[in-house]
Amino acid sequence: MSHKPFSQACENNKDPILQIISTVFCHPTTVWEIGSGTGQHACYFARHLPHVEWQPTDRPENIPGICLWQEEAQLANLKPALTLDVTDAAWPCSAIDALFTANTLHIMSGNEVQICFDRLTEHLKPQGTCVYLWPV
C-alpha cells in the first residue's frame, strides 16, 4: 500500500468524538481501540490526548494502512498497531485499562458482538472504562 487510506466520516466526526473522550480519558491510561480502521482517529486522539497511550487494533487487512498514518504522525504515545479480530480466542493483551470503539458493533454480526463482550469480561480491568460510539 503506497498511500494512506482515508475516511471522510472519520474526518467529520473526530472533533465531536474528541470532545466526549477527553472528558472520559482525562487521566493517564492506556486506551485500546477496537476497530481502528484507517488509523486516522488513533493518530488524532493520541495527538490531542498526550497523557494517554493509544493502542490501535484491527483485523490484519487494515494494519498496513494504520501503520502509514502512524509513520507520518510520529507520536510517542501511539503504540504500534496490533492485529485483533474480536473473535480471536486469544487477544494480544493481558488486561485492558480502557477501551474505545466507534462505528464497529453495528456492523458486526450478533455472534461477533457477543464474543466481543465475552472477551471484554476477560480482559477489561474491574475498574476499566469502555466507550462505544455509534453513528447517528
Average confidence score pLDDT of the chain: 95
pLDDT of res. 72: 97
- Residue type (1 letter), 108: M
Say how many domains are in the chain. 1
Beta bridge partners of 53: 30
Whole-model pTM? 0.94
CATH number of the structural domain spanning residue 110 = 3.40.50.150
Within a domain: 81? yes
- CA angle (84, 130, 42) in 5-degree steps: 55
DSSP 96: E
Q: Give 37-87 pLDDT, tens digit per residue.
A: 999 999 999 999 999 999 999 999 999 999 999 999 999 999 999 999 999
Within a domain: 15? yes
Within a domain: 34? yes
Within a domain: 56? yes
Range of the domain at 76: 8-133
Within a domain: 16? yes
The CA distance from 8 to 75, in Å, is 22
Within a domain: 28? yes
Within a domain: 129? yes
